[in-house]
Amino acid sequence: MSLFMAFDPHTIRQEFSILQQPAYEHELTYLDNAATTQKPNVVLERILGYYQTANANVHRGAHFLSDRATSQFEHARQTVSRFIQTPEGGQIIWTKGTTEAINMVAYGIEHLIDPGDEILISSLEHHANLVPWQQLSFRTGARLRVIPFTSDGTWQAEYANYFSDRTKVVACTQVSNAIGVQLPVKEVIQHAKNVGALSLIDGAQAIAHYPIDVSELDCDFFVFSGHKMYGPTGIGVLYGKTDALESLLPYQTGGEMVLHVTYQATEFNTLPFRLEAGTPNIEGALGLAAACDFLQQQNQEAMLQWEQSLAEKAYSILENTSEIEIFSPKKNSTLISLAVKNIHIMDLNGYLDSKGIAVRGGSHCAHPLMAQLGVSGTLRASFACYNTMQEAEHFAHSLLEAIELLSED
C-alpha cells in the first residue's frame, strides 16, 4: 500500500473537537492552517491536566507541586529537543513564538554588529524575519541586504556574491508563509559558514509538515512557533548551538535568569535559563510537547504527501481559469496562493466565509514580497493533516462560483 493510500484524514479529524461544529449553517472547512492550526484533544487534555494536577511555578519552589511542574516542564524541553533532533551542545530556549525568538537573536547580537557590517535576508520573508533585522541595521549602522530570490525560490549562482567578510548574520525562511515556496536553506547556511556568519532559519511554516533535523542543517539558530504545529499559542522555541546562544546578551532580565544579584552587579544564570526571564509559559510548553508527540505518532511522510495532494487538487481545478493567477508551486506545496483579476481578494474571502470556508486573504505579513509579485495581496488556502479531498474540491469550486458571481457586478 502506498503512503498516500495509507493516510486517513477522517480518523485524525475526529481528534479535533473544534472541527465538528458548523460555520454559518455549513460544515466548517478550515483552510487557514498557515496562520494557525487547530489543536488535537491530546494537547487540550495535557494543558488541562497540568492545571488539575501540577500547577505551580517551576525551578523555584521546594514542594511537591513545584517539583512535579518542574519535572514536566523540563521533560517537555527534552521532547522538543528530540523532535528537531538537536545535536550534543544544542539548546532549546522557550519563547512566546517565532517573532520573539528572532527578536531575541537580533537584540542579543547587537554588540557584535559594527557600522558597515552586513545582514542578509531573503526577498520572501515574513515581516517577523525582516523588521527585526532592519531595525538592528538602523541601530548599528549595518547594511541590510536582500537576496533576490524569485517566486520559485531557485538558488542562482550569483547569490554567492552577496556573502562576504562583512556578512555577520544571515536569516532566511525555510518555507514562505505567503506562497509556499521552499528556499534552499542548506545552501544559505553553507555560504554563511564559509564567511563566518551566523545563520538563523525561520522554520515556522515548515515545522508542521517536514521532518526537521537541525543537526543536519547545521544552522546556528532555528526558530518556530507552537501554534502552527497543533500546539498552543504563546509558546515557541529558539534552538541554538551553545556557543551561538552564549554570544547573545539577554533580551529580557529579571527573575529566573540570574544566579546572584546585588545593587552593584548581576551574575546571569547558565543556559538555557539565562535567556528565559520570568515565569515561563509552563502549560504552553507542555502543550507543545504534546503536539510534538502527536506528530511523531503519525506517518509524517504520508501526512506530507496527503497535504501536498490537497494543494495539487485545488491547483488542478483552478489553473486553467484565465482570471486566476497562482503564485504557489503546483507540486510540493501544502498551500495554494492566488489572485483574481479585477476582483478584490477580500470579496472572495467574504464569499468563501459565507460558505463556511476559512481561508486567508491579505498580504500575509509580507509586503515586499507582494510588491515583488505585483499584487496587494493573495488569497491563501493552506492544508493540514485533518483536511479532506472533499474540502479541497469544495474550496476550489466555491472560489469559481465566487468569481462567476462577482464578475457579473
- List the grid coordinates of 178: 505567503
Q: Are 42 and 290 in contact (CB under 8 A)?
A: yes
User: Distance between CA atoms of 122 and 179, rounded to whole angstroms?
Assistant: 14
How would you classify the pairing of strands 118-122 and 143-147?
parallel
The per-residue pLDDT for 60 is 85
Task: Band the pLDDT of 89: cuts 50, 70, 90.
Answer: confident
pLDDT at 1: 42
Q: What is the pLDDT of residue 90?
A: 85
At 409, the pLDDT band (50, 70, 90 cuts) reads low
List C-alpha distances in Å: 361 to 22, 32, 194, 364, 376: 21, 10, 40, 8, 10
- Give the burial class of 374: count Cβ atoms within 10 A of its Cβ; 0-12 exposed, 13-18 middle, 19 or more buried: exposed
Please pick, among 172, 219, 292, 365, the residue that the annotation labels catalytic.
Answer: 365
Residue 56, pLDDT > 70, answer yes
Domains of the chain: 3-30+300-407 (3.90.1150.10), 44-296 (3.40.640.10)
Residue 167: strand, helix, or coil: strand
Tell me how far apart the alpha carbons of residues 156 and 327 are, in angstroms, rounded to a whole number: 19
Listed residue (335, 330, 325) closest to 374, CA to CA: 325
Q: What are phi and psi of 83, to 5 degrees?
A: -60, -40
What mean pLDDT value characterizes the chain? 96
Task: Retrieve residue 394's grid coordinates.
Answer: 469544495
- Partners of 361 in the β-ladder: 379
Can you give the pLDDT at residue 334?
Answer: 98
C-alpha–C-alpha distance, residues 239 and 174, integer Å: 15
Distance CA 245, CA 60 (A): 23
Cell digits of residue 129: 524575519
What is the gyration radius of the CA atoms in the chain, in angstroms?
22
- pLDDT tens-digit map of 159-180: 999 999 999 999 999 999 999 9
Is 6's pLDDT higher than 80?
no
Q: Residue 58: name the closest of 290, 287, 286, 289 by CA.
A: 286
Q: What percent of the chain has pLDDT over 70?
A: 98
Q: Long-range contacts of range 186-189, CB-CB < 8 Å, 24 or more positions apart?
A: 186/217, 187/155, 188/122, 188/147, 189/217, 189/218, 189/219
Cell (9 digits) for 266: 548581576
Q: How far apart are CA 126 and CA 202, in angstroms?
A: 9
Q: What is the pLDDT of residue 5?
A: 57
Angle between helices 282-296 and 41-53 (to 10 degrees): 140
**% of the chain beyond a pLDDT of 90:** 96
pLDDT of residue 40: 98
pLDDT for 381 beyond 80: yes
Q: Is the peptide bond before 272 cis (omega within 30 degrees of 0)?
A: yes
Q: Which three cell numbers stand for residue 364?
A: 500575509
What does the pLDDT look like over 268-285, one tens digit per residue?
Answer: 999 999 999 999 999 999
pLDDT over 50 at 306, yes or no = yes
Biggest CA-to-CA distance, the chain: 73
Q: Which amino acid is at 29?
A: T
| DSSP calls for 239-294 | EEEHHHHHTSPPSS-SSSSEEEE-SS-EEEPPTTGGG--SS--HHHHHHHHHHHHH
Q: Which of 1-15, 107-121, 142-156, 262-276 has the lowest mean pLDDT?
A: 1-15
* pLDDT for residue 313 is more than 80: yes
Q: Is 365 one of the annotated active-site residues of the chain?
A: yes
